Amino acid sequence: MYCKKCGKQLRDDASFCPNCGTSLSVPQLDILTVFRTGIPKASVISSNGSDLFVYPHLPENVKNSIRTNFHLDYDDKIFFIRDTSWWDTRNQGLVITDKGIVCIPDNDKANEIVLFYWADIDRVEYQDLVLHFWNNEGYSYPIHISYFIKGDENENGRYIGEALAAVFTQMASVAIPVKSLLEETMVKIDDLMASKKCDEALQLALSFKEKEGDNSALDFYIAGIYAEKKEYRKTIQFCERGLECVDEENCDLVSLLLYQKYSACHELGDDFTARKDCLTVMRNTSATLVCGDGISVRDDAEKDFRQYEQNYIHNFLSMPYNKRKLIVPVNEYIDLSQQLISVVDIRNLPAINFPIGHPIANQLYVGHPFIADQYILFEDHELTFIDDRVREFCLIMQFLGATEVSVESINGKNVNEEIKEDLTIKGGSSYRIAKAQGAYHKESENRLVNSIKQTIGLTQKYTPSKSPALPDGLVWYPYEASWQRLYQQRMQGSLLEHREKIETRKNRVLQSSELRQVEGEFKSLVLTAHATWDNHLEASFETQEDADLTIYVRFAPLSALTGNNENVKCNNLLSLSLTADEQEYLDEYRECLEEGNDISPKERRLLDRLREKLGISEKRSVELENSLKPQLSEVEQEYLEEYRICLEEDGEISDRERRLLDRLRDKLGITQERANELEKY
């Protein structure tokens, strides 16, 4: 026999359950015996051979139809059938089995089946021709007595109803807890896994899922099997499926799915994602929840998070720009579910350069697209970037022999209508897990063009004397194709005036489509920290108008620039935006160049192996190598190539070759001083 409360199998002579302590002073009876003994008391209930059948008078053909139409399991024992369908089609009515009661009230809605097990019923009561089945949680399901008898229910209804209520209550008291098909399947899966039969366990689980559809508990089992097979991408896939359909109130299963998912991410080397899910497990898991080997899930998550956090901070600046573009320092970790914002502990920041007086907790910062360790306050970043671009352009023009540089015009095209509104919002805000109370005051007004006019309205004049060259430490130049073409034109010697158009949209690191999501994520962080969301913060997320700056440049003739420019032309344009792996590759390439101007086939082969090991693409390696080469115009490159060809024959330039080189130099418009510099390369 079995314990009614916990389902543990007991000895026949047991007087109490050793598992839960339930008293068993009354001998437990077989449920069929209870039914057969009790039903005769309701004397009106008997088989009529048409639409009411009582054990043992159950025709085989009737049982076959009922088992099919009511979706009964193979081992269900049928005790009672009341067929309420038209023409005895056996697809509507009520069936009593050894496991419970199955009812189909309307055969037009055959999928709407009422099912409850005897083991879940606490008692049955009769009232006014209705039997009320009360479950162990205090809820009842009413079934009219017409589902149990046929005839004049008013005449004998009360007598029969009270008799049935007593029989059904006793049946519930002796019922064996029913294991669901899912539970039985999971037991089989556990047995197969214990026997190291992972493939068989996986096949059983997948077959069951195909038949039963979405089930988060089964997804957890399947994910675990894939983890055992070290197929971690599949593990993550089924954890995510389980999280999509899991009941949010089932906190333990949510924690187990996230625990398994972040562990798989870590195995794949993705501590970026693992860190986020690990924090959720660490903060929201019960201290009593343990995994299969008895380890506390929460304690394990706390240990894992410390490791992931250390790796995250150490590798932060080497991550792709889009993964670290936005950062918010916080005093306490509450939620890391953000997709676009990186949240970091203000006491354990990466090696980042912030503006003076920063960082400040719960402030949003934007990373410089080309200087990995430089972060700027979000509300100032567009103005900072355009100002930086303009001033670098002016510096380049100065080194190329400009006599005058001035911002000629600033035309702003407003992509939003000017907005000025006053809106106060109070109340709770929710973003994913975070919940907080707060208030914010909104007043927004586009103002980028005005800020540019106040900051960048410059006019500069120079008296150049040195030969044109590129200054050191350029940041934007390698990514500005128009500036590079301008340099080539200038070095040809004929360019005296130029107008350059610089657009703010080209240095915009956040698109309009991203702003709304960033605003939602940042707002959630601010309110969660019990800070205030005010009009100043709201206005910073308004899409600013595009501004076009036209810069006028006047150059001195190249013939007037004869002085030697000691600045190298472009020693390393990319140095400020290199990852650690790229810097390692560049250092090795530089050492090869120091031993000789050319790279030998053997050195090239070794460099290619190093490049592949460091995960650097061939295209990127070319960019890195070119950053060490002088930036020459086409005519300068032509002269240098001819000079090197002459030099290759015997290592010296003959008088005849010198005369020919001088003629070529004059034809190309290169000064004698510039030619001397080129020949030193």
Residue 228 confidence (pLDDT): 92
Do 41 and 101 share a structural domain?
A: yes
Do 646 and 617 share a structural domain?
A: no
Q: Which of 506, 531, 560 delimits the end of a domain? A: 560
| Higher-scoring residue by pLDDT: 266, 558 | 266
Q: Name the band, by pLDDT with cuts 50, 70 and 90, for residue 54.
A: very high
Q: Which of 114-128, 456-470, 499-513, 623-637 has the lowest mean pLDDT?
A: 623-637
Asked if residues 173 and 22 have their Cβ atoms less than 8 Å apart, the reply is no
Inform me whether the pLDDT recorded for 415 exceeds 50: no
Q: Which of 174, 189, 205 delimits the end of a domain? A: 174
Which residue in 214, 123, 168 sits closest to 31, CA to CA?
168
- Buried b / exposed e over 95-118, threshold 16 CB at 10 Å, is bbbbbbbbbbbeeeeeeeeeebbb
Q: How far are the Cα atoms of 153, 322, 367, 648 from residue 275, in angstroms, in the given order?
A: 66, 17, 21, 58
Say how far apart CA 423 and CA 595 lie, in whole Å.
Answer: 68
Inform me whether the pLDDT recorded for 10 exceeds 70: no
- Write the pLDDT tens digit of every residue in 289-323: 988 778 899 999 999 999 999 999 998 998 889 88
Asked if residues 62 and 53 have their Cβ atoms less than 8 Å apart, the reply is yes
- Buried b / exposed e over 315-335, threshold 16 CB at 10 Å, is ebeebeeeebbbbbbbeeebb
Question: Could you tell me what percent of the chain has a pLDDT over 70?
Answer: 81
Inform me whether the pLDDT recorded for 168 exceeds 90: yes
Do 525 and 414 share a structural domain?
A: yes
SS3 content of the chain, % helix, strand, coil (to 5): 50, 15, 35
Helix (H, G, I), strand (E, B) or coil at 654: coil
Do 644 and 522 share a structural domain?
A: no
The enclosing domain of 96 has a CATH number of 2.30.29
Do 210 and 198 share a structural domain?
A: yes
- Write the pLDDT tens digit of every residue in 224-248: 999 999 999 999 999 999 999 888 8
Q: Name the residue range of residue 260's domain.
A: 181-318
Residue 411 confidence (pLDDT): 62
Q: Which of 419-433, 466-480, 589-603 has the lowest mean pLDDT?
A: 419-433
Residue 178 confidence (pLDDT): 59
DSSP H helical ranges for 125-250: 153-174, 181-194, 198-212, 216-228, 232-245
Tokens of 166: 């007593």
> Do the domain assignments include residue 5?
no
Inform me whether the pLDDT recorded for 519 exceeds 90: no
Asked if residues 78 and 67 have their Cβ atoms less than 8 Å apart, the reply is yes
- Write the pLDDT tens digit of every residue in 355-381: 888 999 999 999 999 888 999 999 888
Do 298 and 188 share a structural domain?
A: yes
Name the residue type at position 627: S
> Do the domain assignments include residue 366?
no
- Mean pLDDT of all residues in 24-34: 68
Asked if residues 225 and 239 have their Cβ atoms less than 8 Å apart, the reply is no
Q: How far are the Cα atoms of 251, 412, 517, 542, 549 from residue 511, in angstroms, in the given order?
A: 37, 18, 11, 11, 20
Which residue in 334, 277, 329 sits closest to 304, CA to CA?
277
| Higher-scoring residue by pLDDT: 555, 511 | 555
Highest mean pLDDT among 54-58, 261-265, 649-653: 261-265
Residue 445 confidence (pLDDT): 37
Name the residue type at position 525: L
Do 530 and 411 share a structural domain?
A: yes
> Do the domain assignments include residue 24?
no
Q: Name the band, by pLDDT with cuts 50, 70 and 90, for residue 440.
A: very low
Asked if residues 301 and 281 have their Cβ atoms less than 8 Å apart, the reply is yes
List the end-to-end C-alpha distance of the chain, in Å, as a whole number: 96
Inform me whether the pLDDT recorded for 385 exceeds 70: yes
Say how far apart CA 93 and CA 148 lie, in whole Å.
Answer: 9
Do 199 and 238 share a structural domain?
A: yes
Residue 449 confidence (pLDDT): 64
Inform me whether the pLDDT recorded for 450 exceeds 90: no
Do 309 and 266 share a structural domain?
A: yes
Beta strands in 84-177 (DSSP E): 93-97, 100-104, 114-117, 121-127, 130-135, 140-144
What number of residues does the chain have? 681
* Residue-averaged pLDDT of the chain: 81
Say how far apart CA 139 and CA 498 lie, in whole Å.
Answer: 84
Do 623 and 643 share a structural domain?
A: no
Tokens 């900072």: give the residue. 384
Residue 612 confidence (pLDDT): 86
Q: Which of 629, 655, 672 delimits the end of a domain? A: 629
> Do the domain assignments include residue 15?
no
DSSP 338-388: -SSEEEEETTS--S-B--TT---TT--EEE-SS-TTBEEEGGGHHHHHHHH
> Do the domain assignments include residue 327?
no
Inform me whether the pLDDT recorded for 130 exceeds 90: yes
Do 308 and 193 share a structural domain?
A: yes
Asked if residues 390 and 502 have their Cβ atoms less than 8 Å apart, the reply is yes
Question: Could you tell me what percent of the chain has a pLDDT over 90?
Answer: 28
- Buried b / exposed e over 191-203, threshold 16 CB at 10 Å, is ebbeeeeeeebbe
> Do the domain assignments include residue 325?
no
Do 305 and 223 share a structural domain?
A: yes
Domain count, the chain: 5
Asked if residues 329 and 359 have their Cβ atoms less than 8 Å apart, the reply is yes
Residue 374 confidence (pLDDT): 93
> Do the domain assignments include residue 568?
no
